[in-house]
Structure 1
Amino acid sequence: MYQLYYYPNNASLAPHFLLHFMELDYQLLLVDRKSSFHKSAEYLKLNPAGRIPTLIDDGMAIFESSAICIHLCEQNPK
């Protein structure tokens, strides 16, 4: 199952649309920007840039919206 760290109406919107449109099994994980979770040590282990979104696929973290979209399309070409 994919895990998408996201924030509403942010750069995570395109990867979220793809996950939904492609009917993939995924979990959305809201990043609380008010508490600066994206700058926490826990999140920085996943995404050293501290930016949103981050996609976890089989333990591998992928960040940057366009890279996530390309990865999803390559992994699910149908």
Structure 2
Amino acid sequence: HNNWHERWRGSICLAIEEPEKSVDEIERWAGHPYMSQILIKAGPRPSWGNPKYDAIWAAATKHDIPVSCHLSRSHYDELPMPPVG
């Protein structure tokens, strides 16, 4: 009873302001059977399409792990999602 261990999944939480360290975390955890996604925050600057973050997207693609965004901000009008990346 109350043994939920096999059903719990975690997120690889990244501070993408430091792309190299973010890639290290992806490499460290992406193969873990209980990690189901990469989680980034909503407010990085520059926008997510900036080449600064290319290594993060490449590592996520390499491991076939989705990237999600937690929209935990009070002002959604400043999200880094311009129409051109």
TM-score by length of 1: 0.30
TM-score by length of 2: 0.29
